[in-house]
Structure formats: C-alpha cells, structure tokens
C-alpha cells in the first residue's frame, strides 16, 4: 500500500563522543555512531534513528546508503506498511519506520501508541550499564550509580569473580544483571554459577554462544531477554 502524497527524505550519520570509553567483551568504543532519518510532508517532519551494529554486518555508511535509496519510493508514496516489504529487517528500516511513524502521528494529531493500538507508556525501571574494566575501575563507576535499583554489569571471559565482588561491594542494594556479550561458554557459565560469582544477579540475553544454545546451563541465574 502507498500514500497518495509523496514524502521527502533526508538522512545523515551523527557521531557522539563518549566520556572516556565504553567497553564490552568484544571491544571498546569512544563514540556512539547513529544514523538519523527525517521524513517531511505537509509541513511536518518525522524523526527516526538507529545504531548500525558491526556484530550483525552493519556499518553506518551502508545503513545511510540503504536509507537514501528509499528516496524515490517515498516520493512515489511509499508508506510505513509497504516499507516492511520494501526493505529487509535491520537498522536502516528501523530508522525509517520510526520516522514515518513519527510523521504519521504529527500529521494526524494522535499519539504513536494510539496509532499502534498499544496502551500509553508508563514509568519503568531501566538498567544503568557499568562498562567492562578493572575491578577497581568498575567499583568506582558503580559507587557513583549505587543509588540506582538495577545495574547491568559488562563482563568478559576472565576475572569475573573479582569484578562482581567489587561491584557488589560498591552497590550492596542494587539488583545486578551480568552481561558477558557471548564471552562465556556453557561450561564456564556452570562453573561460575556453582562458585556463586553471580550472587543476586540475572544473566542478560546470551552470556555466551554455548550458553545461549543450552539455557539449562544458566542454572540458578534468572534470564533477562533484551526487549
């Protein structure tokens, strides 16, 4: 399905410096790179953005090119429903879908959740992430966030016990989510569970390739899936 009115598209790459660096088991970064999509029609502008993930074969440049390739279809009236078949799932389609949804809400004067047939959003507790580092550095970062009820702790393949102990000491009341970004295996996940390394913690997403393939290896760890 397409709209009877054309939509203009603009897109760009934005780079946002990070204070210090953000480190996970697969590497560190010093800036957050997003790709922004803007769609305009009838004096209204819809905004959307995405984060291309190298983990999934995406780059900012390829994502930008994919977005800009949709200029002609949008000019011919491509709408949000038709977009689902016009682009493969991924960062580029996500940004454009969000921009079109924002535009539709502004033109119609309705809330996005009403357009989606969803209930109005409510306040919820979100996790604050502690970057992977030395136990001392992670303890210092955690101390600044100890007032938060939910912390996500980035971990690697070694030094797990020392890091969790340092974090727990700095935030004794917070619930901890441990996120190893696939650095663990089923074997060492079971070992860490049995040694109590994850005390009062919940494994987030896929702690490791093997662990993700064998959920039972998580044993006493509660599982938190990414939304």
Please give the model's pTM, rounded to 2 decimal places. Answer: 0.79
Give pLDDT tens digits for 50-106.
999 998 999 999 999 999 999 999 999 999 999 999 999 999 999 999 999 999 999
Q: Are the C-beta atoms of residues 164 and 191 closer than 8 Å to each other?
A: no
Please answer whether residues 37 and 91 qualify as being in contact, where contact means their C-beta atoms are separated by less than 8 angstroms: no
Query: Which of 43-47, 112-116, 222-226 comes out lowest in average pLDDT?
Result: 222-226
- CATH of 128-224, picked from 3.20.20.120, 3.20.20.300, 1.10.10.60, 3.40.50.10860, is 3.20.20.120
Domain-wise residue ranges, the chain: 8-115, 128-224
Residue 220: both structure tokens together: 């006493």
With 0-12 CB in 10 A as exposed, 13-18 as middle and 19+ as buried, what is 211?
buried
Tens digit of each residue's pLDDT (9 = 90 or more) over 153-181: 999 888 888 999 999 999 999 999 988 88
**Res. 217: pLDDT tops 50:** no
CATH H-level, domain 8-115: superfamily: Enolase-like, N-terminal domain (3.30.390.10)
């Amino acid at each position: 399905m397409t709209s009877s009115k054309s939509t203009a598209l603009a897109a760009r790459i934005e780079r946002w410096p990070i204070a210090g660096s953000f480190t996970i088991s697969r590497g560190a970064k010093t800036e957050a790179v997003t790709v922004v999509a803007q769609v305009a029609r009838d004096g209204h502008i819809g905004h959307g953005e995405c984060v291309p993930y190298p983990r999934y074969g995406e780059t900012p440049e390829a994502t930008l090119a994919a977005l800009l390739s949709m200029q002609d279809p949008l000019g011919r009236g491509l709408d949000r429903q038709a977009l689902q078949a016009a682009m493969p799932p991924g960062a580029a389609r996500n940004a454009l879908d969000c921009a079109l949804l924002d535009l539709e809400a502004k033109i119609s004067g309705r809330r996005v959740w009403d357009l989606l047939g969803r209930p109005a959003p409510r306040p919820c507790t979100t996790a604050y992430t502690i970057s992977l580092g030395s136990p001392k550095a992670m303890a210092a970062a955690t101390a600044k966030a100890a007032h938060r009820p939910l912390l996500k702790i980035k971990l690697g393949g070694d030094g797990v016990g020392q890091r969790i102990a340092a974090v727990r000491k700095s935030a004794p009341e917070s619930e901890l989510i441990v996120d190893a970004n696939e650095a663990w295996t089923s074997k060492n996940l079971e070992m860490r569970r049995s040694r109590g390394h994850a005390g009062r913690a919940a494994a987030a997403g896929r702690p490791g390739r093997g662990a993700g393939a064998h959920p039972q290896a998580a044993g006493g760890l509660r599982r938190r899936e990414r939304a």
